[in-house]
Amino acid sequence: MARTHERFQAVLDTGLASRRVEMLLLLVVWLLFLILSLRVFGPDSVYTAFNSDGAIPVLMANDDRPITVFDTYYYSADRWGGWPMLIAKWLHLNIGLNWTDQRLHYVRTTWLFVGLLFLAALNARAAPAVLVSALIVLCFEPTIRRLMFDLSQLYAWQLPALFIAWFCLRRFLTKPSPAHLIYWSVAFYFSAFFAIWSSVASVPFLVVLLTLEALRSRLLFQKTVTKRRIGVVVVLLLAATASEFLMKSNYHRHSLKHFGFDFKTRMALDSGYLYENLLINWHNVFQSLFFPLILIALSFVAGAAGRLLYTRVAGKGPVRPRLISLFEDETATMIVALTGMAAANFVIMIFVSHVRLSSYDDRFHVPTYFFGAISGLLSIYLTIRIFANRIAITRYVLPLVLVGAFLFLGVKFPPRAMSDAYRIHRETALALSQKAPGAVLMGGYWETYVFAGLQPTNRMTPVPFEGTLNRIPWTPTSLRGSPQVVIEYQRSELVSQESLPNELSQYGILLKLQEPHFYENGPYAFALYSKP
């Protein structure tokens, strides 16, 4: 039997302020900001970027080859779980759905917003505060906004699966019915598996959540939560982790067998650079626009931990009642969980060599920024709530605070603005598909996939120059059957406008220059080659 305790209510449970009306209004607001985000933060906007990395998911979704093991991860990169593109490709092959960058943006943004609903559902009494906090961080922090809505990044797919796994985990640990236990255990396994499939970094996040939820359930639901049930979720998490590991191993085996390379991301403990990594990563976090919010979240958790430690050391009474009091408040629990995951991601950045070898790219900071900033806003909300409770004005103050936050979000929401770079890319892609439909397009890595990904029809086959990173390793064979090869030379490194060769050998195929000024647009210039 759960402990009975008085819960905070942001609104009254009668009349127009009933829970049903509140949830309906919240869904309307959620839908409004979803529509705004779909319109404003697309691949064509100035707030994100569309390049060859972002084109790969589009090309994966539209690939006409049969589904293979290679489709389970972002092409040639095992850090990026490919299940969203795998589902999209299945739809393409079976119902003829032709994917564009905009369509993928619509699906992944909707999925991201569904994840926010699950996050809010974890704290139903303060759901408006959770939702507005997440939306403010998502839409206003430049780094988070850019990388969350970038098609080349995995976070918009990973985090909703993580939030759903968290939701299922809590239900499994608190539902006494055996039927419910089976349902929520299966749901937890699959949502955890998809989160880990998206990124193996989900494992430490799930460990943080499992530890916290197990402790919370043992304290609040002692008669319904047993060690056996906690053991089951540990086994389920291990099973989800092992499932992804086996699938990734099969991906490496398949890649080595068919393409001569395993495409394995080399990761190791960066033992010789830990102090340097700590300083550089902390400096990068410090530069975040919402660093003060992260600091507030850290202060809240440190303060709560300090208070518990003081209670124990100073002999001010048993620690257990204070822990129960902390976990009875779902907002406080969420603050601790989000801060814990933000800290776990920061530790990963310090200890994993791949972050340093990638020049400490800011994409690795997204979970720390996102979780930490939301936690900071919720800490402010909880502080306001506590003071409002003390002077008995909660029912007036909190609705005003939440309505004000949503109004601020709506008024300050970024305006729609199209990227000039995207416009040039799209113009160039469409022109090339009309002038040389179905031909091979060659150039540097950044001058090939980006154009093929923006061609809805007559799509060209992107083949980077020999020796350049090639994410679709079977495409060079298309040179043998293509009478025309269009080569971008103005921005590519292999050839230049001043020394455009009459003959060019690529992948064992000799190409002869036919038309040096085949097409030009902005910074791009293309020449037409053919086989002799």
How does pLDDT run across 425-463, given as a tens digit for each residue? 999 999 999 999 999 999 999 999 999 999 998 999 999
Question: Which residue would you say has higher pLDDT here, 109 or 6?
Answer: 109
pLDDT at residue 49 in the model? 92
How does pLDDT run across 468-486, given as a tens digit for each residue? 999 999 999 999 988 999 9
pLDDT at residue 12 in the model? 37
- Helix, strand counts (H, E) of the chain: 19, 6
pLDDT at residue 130 in the model? 96
Give me 51's structure tokens.
């390049």
CA distance 410 to 148: 19
pLDDT at residue 267 in the model? 85
CA distance 420 to 114: 31
How does pLDDT run across 109-126, given as a tens digit for each residue? 999 999 999 999 999 889
User: How many Å separate Cα 321 from the centre of its chain?
Assistant: 37
Give me 256's structure tokens.
């080595």
Average pLDDT over every residue of 229-236: 92
pLDDT at residue 95 in the model? 95
Examine the pLDDT at 1 and tell me if it is beyond 50. Answer: no
Decide: 294 and 342 in contact? Cβ < 8 Å.
yes
Beta bridge partners of 526: 488, 519
Average pLDDT over every residue of 4-32: 65
CA distance 81 to 73: 5
Measured between alpha carbons, how far is residue 337 from residues 166, 175, 186, 231 in Å? 10, 21, 23, 20
Average pLDDT over every residue of 151-175: 94
Decide: 132 and 402 in contact? Cβ < 8 Å.
yes
pLDDT at residue 315 in the model? 62
Q: Mean pLDDT of all residues in the chain?
A: 90
Decide: 504 and 488 in contact? Cβ < 8 Å.
no
Average pLDDT over every residue of 199-224: 87
Residue 203: phi and psi, rounded to 5, are -60, -55
Q: Which helix (H) or strand (E) segment is 461 a member of?
A: strand 461-464
pLDDT at residue 7 in the model? 40
How does pLDDT run across 358-399, given as a tens digit for each residue? 999 999 999 999 999 999 999 999 999 888 888 888 778 888
Decide: 204 and 162 in contact? Cβ < 8 Å.
no
Q: pTM of this prediction?
A: 0.92
- Which of 28-32, 327-331, 507-511 is the least confident region? 327-331
Q: What angle do CA 460, 48, 71 make, to 5 degrees?
A: 45
Alpha-carbon Rg for the chain in angstroms: 26
